Structure 1
Amino acid sequence: MSVLASKSSIYTTFKTLGLLYLFFIVGLFLDSFYMVRVTEHAQFYANALMLFVFFITFFKVPKRVKKQMINAVLIGFFGEYLFSVLLGMYTYRLENVPHYIPFGHAFVYIAVLYFSKAASIKVRKKQIETFLIVAIIIYTLLFLLLKNDVFGFVMTTITLFILRNRSKERLFYLTMYASVVVLELVGTYYKCWFWPTSAWNIVPFLPSANPPSGISLFYFLLDLGTLWLYKQRHRDAWQRMKDIRKIRLAAKN
């Protein structure tokens, strides 16, 4: 059964976000402090599993999605070395950028994309968006009050402000926020990476939790960059899609 065409929101959620979150738990465990006690090659196993799952997914998706996955990996490499290595925004266990991270960005992007585009989810779009907004506000307020996570609160506020007038992309980005929350909670619990006590460890008036609640703001940059690259490489196809969308809207009116 196609995920996009499925009429069951439960099936769709499991096949996209459910498997994604399960992969977070299993995949990051291989690079966790638990595995370090067993083997010094923990990160190698995590890298191998990520590459295996990435290429299985890559060969199953359409050509257009393949290109988006490649773009996401390339931007992921650039973003990770910029924010982690050069700017010191966060630090990985071995103070490197594990190979599974940039490929994982693409995996997250595709899972969230398929979830938000599925027919069974679109019919419940408003309800899901409302649920996610309420959950995000509660989550970031708890982190602010219990962990003094000012940095995360500021990023969450910026995220919700940006999304208030982006109705077409809102479900995708809210789902991305939730997915990044799960990813960061699992990764920091396993001690695969950690965040300093303030933003970039140099902005004292922006104390941060480990992880900060609103870090998905930077994942939005990855998503926007992936989309921008796709538009630049396929301008004619993108224009045709926009023209078709205009015709459909005109027909409805």
Structure 2
Amino acid sequence: MLRHFPACNVSFNHQKRDYLIAAFTFICVAICLLSDAHAAIEKQNALGVCGWVFLLGLLLGEPIEVRVQVGIAVIFATIGEHFASPYMGGYTYRFGNVPAYVPPGHGMVYLTAVALARSGLFLRYAREIATFVVSVCGVWSLWGISGIPDQGDAVGALLFCVFLAYLFKGRSPMVYLAAFFITTWLELIGTAVGTWKWAAIDPVLGWSQGNPPSGVAAWYCLVDAVAMGGAVPVMTGLKSVQAWVKSARSRKNAYQGAESK
């Protein structure tokens, strides 16, 4: 049974903000990837600066818990990018690097998934959206292993199975559904214009791999799991530090008060 994403009660204005975050990110992704398709490395770096400015601006209106989750997601996804692309060669960017806009881009994509997951639209039509996503991704995966396309996609079918497991057993099913839309958007654009290309054969499994793989949203399920799990000890640590600072100030004020008598 599909469980709802545990979102707090939000105001109408905050729901409008969720849609604005999503629309802004979808537009930025398209503009960034199309601009980078034939850009020099200097322009790629400039896109990275813009990405950080946009991400920090979007986070200003978010609670501390979401900011921490986004921060962890950026760190984990960036490490994963360097391992999967330059080191393993699972996919390759134009310059053989990890573009400067990728780390903040991961933050914007993750924040968009969270924003859509808590929006009224997704919470109201959760089952319908889940049915649509599973159907589309399922057909895409079956097509990839049907033998019809020149480049098979056995890895995509595996990732689709992983995505289903997260969707029905994970802690944030609505985030995973939202991640499907934004990750599919960026993957289709990025691979179409040649910003990056997935290897025809996965370097780890040795299986055929689509460009992009059909179940690529599964990777963001892992990013979310790490972000959600990592946020707990970070928030606990922050609260402990705040309590210690408050206690230290209280002791200092009490000591100063005793001296003044």
Same fold by TM (over 0.5)? yes
Structure 1 spans left out of the alignment, 5+ residues: 239-253
Match of 2:175 in 1: 172
Match of 1:245 in 2: none
Any conservation in 2 of the 1:198–1:207 contact (CA below 8 Å)? yes
Give the aligned length.
228
Match of 1:18 in 2: 23
Match of 1:100 in 2: 101
Deviation string for 1:164-197 (max 9, x for gaps)? 334x522221221232111111111121111111
Match of 1:90 in 2: 91
CA RMSD of aligned residues (A): 2.7
* Cα pair distance change 1:4/1:84, threshold 3 Å: farther
Match of 2:111 in 1: 110
Any conservation in 2 of the 1:4–1:114 contact (CA below 8 Å)? no
Give the alignment's TM-score, normalised by structure 1: 0.79
Distance 1:195 1:78 in 2: 18
Distance 1:226 1:110 in 2: 11
Of 68-77 and 97-106, the range deviating more from structure 2: 68-77
1:185 and 2:188 are equivalent in the alignment = yes
* Cα pair distance change 1:46/1:236, threshold 3 Å: closer
Equivalences for residues 25-44 of structure 1 within 5 A: 25-33=30-38, 36=39, 39=40, 41-44=42-45
Any conservation in 1 of the 2:29–2:186 contact (CA below 8 Å)? yes
Distance 1:92 1:163 in 2: 29
Distance 1:67 1:172 in 2: 16
Distance 1:93 1:227 in 2: 32
Distance 1:71 1:40 in 2: 27
Deviation of 1:237 after TM superposition, in Å, equals 9.7
Deviation of 1:236 after TM superposition, in Å, equals 8.6
Any conservation in 1 of the 2:129–2:177 contact (CA below 8 Å)? no
**What is the letter of the counterpart of residue 22 of structure 2?**
L
* Cα pair distance change 1:29/1:49, threshold 3 Å: farther
Tell me the secondary structure at the aligned position of residue 209 of structure 1: coil
Q: 1:5 aligns with which of 11, 33, 48?
A: 11
Any conservation in 2 of the 1:197–1:208 contact (CA below 8 Å)? yes
Structure 2 spans left out of the alignment, 5+ residues: 1-8, 240-261
Deviation of 1:32 after TM superposition, in Å, equals 0.9
Question: Deviation above 6 Å: which 4+ runs of structure 1?
Answer: none
Any conservation in 1 of the 2:122–2:174 contact (CA below 8 Å)? no
Larger radius of gyration: 2
Tell me the secondary structure at the aligned position of residue 180 of structure 2: helix
Deviation string for 1:181-214 (max 9, x for gaps)? 11111111121111111112x644x111211111
Identity of aligned residues (%): 22
Give the alignment's TM-score, normalised by structure 2: 0.77
Match of 2:157 in 1: 153
